[in-house]
Structure 1
């Protein structure tokens, strides 16, 4: 065992460490941008210069500070630098600064709150300009202590974000306790998102859950156009990563918008529910985040029929809502108004702000109907590019949900519940509008279906169609393939982007899968014979093989734009006829320079 250093030696080492940190450490800011417009909403602060004082990475720096019991001092040093950089930015820059809080300092949330409030006063910043990022790194999760710390920080007016969501063991508990303004999905889930069905399912579920709880979702570590497109399809609100730009120590080099970068990625189709949403938006009294309790009393008195009061900040971002039922006890108490005016009691509107579900007007509502219904009592806030657009009450939400269900039912095939001709046409139109990526479109029909249906009847015929639909739905679920039902025994398949690479193999295997399951529909004699006897379209009696399928596909390479959708459909029709003539179950061609294979 070594000899412990004298106190004066350790004190000198501590002083030198803190002095070096103050003099040599720097902060770099990285933009967090709207996933569609590229407008900058915030900047996150990262430490730089750690290698100059002998540390290989930031974690080693923070661990060393913790071992010297100076983690709080290091944290406040970096917070000061980050806030100073924020204050030095042009007024046109983003209003939010994301600051990472080491989990080991969470027990000192009161002191951190007081420190940041002082820095806000010194630098002429507002509490609403600050977002505190929390994670479970370096700490064993204590729900009660965590909730208390979050309450202290939020009580000052700071926004709250949960960082690296999905990588720890207590993420859902943290989400429940914090009800964060932002949820950051770790890069592990973002990389290979376009090619990994499991990750897509997880990310989509996280996004739906976050939106239902009133949180906006940030995809971290976005490095490629492919990842950006996948994040948009998953309805992430914001993105951050090297694709946008790297963290910069020079804050003057940061732009207010990175729309040119995001314009390189294809835009998902607009939400067909948007018009219905806009027609149902209600005009309600809205609170600002500097509303006082006394102001709130007046607003509620002037709007006696309103039960939910959305709150937005000076930048138009929703901050939650105040529910009339929560403040009613204070309003009608004997000394309620006096308490509201008494600053010494330190009771504010923030103490009554609750999370509320949000809905981006360009996000399809259909998949989220069931999730939102569980919290429909408070209604939802509708946003456009994250900015407050309006409010939907529970009643309006139900009207919208019913309208969407009616639309969906009208657009779907009644037997298979697959999208119908309108959706197929929309996909073909999108193929023309997005030449920057590979696209595949395919027709599929069931061979020998009419004589089979004539012999076995409509009920068994419908079972055959449902079997094919089930096979195709598995492709949609596992491989991001769009599936449509044109009618009868005719189907449509399509895909875009990286998923096209595996499409040929997937389509080629459909026929064998269908033949295998469809055999069970025949009686034993027909199955053993391998055919049925029936009447052909020309009226003649002949033998028909057991059910099979024919697929004709066209591939549009990256950079090729067809003259019209007719070019695609005519080519698929010709390929299907050729496949039938030559006895092939699958035939494809590439548009542009045609290559049969």
Structure 2
């Protein structure tokens, strides 16, 4: 065996393969992991057997140096500027000969240390963390980066992470497998994502094999991934298939939009789990095998062809089998004999908030049963109740996060998303910008507390009037600025009504003597005392009749707002101005 190993090492009879690692933000290639295989059709083809045999024959250091040097040579020959992950056993990386041999080879081949990631594969426990920590620190000062492999399995635990302080953490495939169906795994990976973000460590999910796993990892915020779905180990440097790249981009884009979307907009089908349905004629003994083979499965959709006809829950199924003579009575019979013939079946397009209302109206004993989702009148998937509630809570928290704390109205990010959404629909709408005049002087004169009351008063007026329009939207830009979107070009009556109510009631926020006088005396931005009239409101509007993009719309409404503010100042009263009126005035000046 020793002679065979020496021959393999000296003649480099092994094969180097590269598995790509991709960004889950856009599908770009980030780097490659170098993987070694022994001579083909040899007893040492398997890498585990190859390195274990080398260790047993005291040739591990020679094998490590030879295989890794060969990997670098091969990688350089493929002319890539990406980073390269090299697996290294802890027993080897602590050997001073190892880094000297590597550094010498890297200088000879002109490759930057910063492009090399030592991936520590913990096949054996690290016995002395103090010594190992110093060794890793030494490597880092030379420019190398460190990754910890198989986190979540074997010896790769929190102690290693805290002592080594790696640049990368690789999540073991055991945590990734079926993560879309396992809430505990989701929670673990979510915690790792948050930890990695807080510590500036890059996280890589290993062993991704299905689209559902990939989608779940993107949703959890995992930045990087590798696996057979994305790219198998290859002699060539693979890039991501266009179909998968588009899938990643579309999933990411959908998530960004969803972050700023209410529960009444998100369709239940977007969170459905693509569990396989089973024909209702299937024997109960086969259903038992399915349940026993997957402890996390709490229900199965039953079909007649592609049509949903029922649901069998784990609880209901084993309740029937658990009765006296239950097994004898039911196991050889079709499951349709004991299925729930009236499960909650919803169309893919039903919004989440409506789904929750439908669930709340179910019988108590069915409250936690899966919701079955159909698309085009055919079975699509199931939604566990916990998934539905978590998504609803996530959406509400996101809305709260991006809302103005004083008024509770959506803030700038949501406002932009809504304007773009209306533009994409290509339906008639008007963008209305509201701004209070002389509000700063009121704040300085009366206090911020009374100023906040005016802001809330303004928000209440705007909400009440705008609510009469279907699909209208109101946002709070900040301070005394608000934005509304109304699905109509005919908004003059709306603006006039808002001005009328605002002007009629605004005086109640002033002292009686100031109202009688018609102004207050306060300091301007230059610290000069001046007379300031009662706060008024300026309303500037534009529509999408000739505007097709967000930037142009914002530019136009800003220009109209500027003119409107000047008119308010000139006439000392509230004013409403459309883009058309501004254009007419400009033409009159020209003529």
**What range describes the TM-score normalised by the shorter chain of this pair?**
0.3 to 0.5
**Rg (Cα) greater in structure:** 2
Of structures 1 and 2, the one with the larger relative CO (CA 8 A, separation 6+) is: 1
Normalised TM-score (structure 1): 0.47
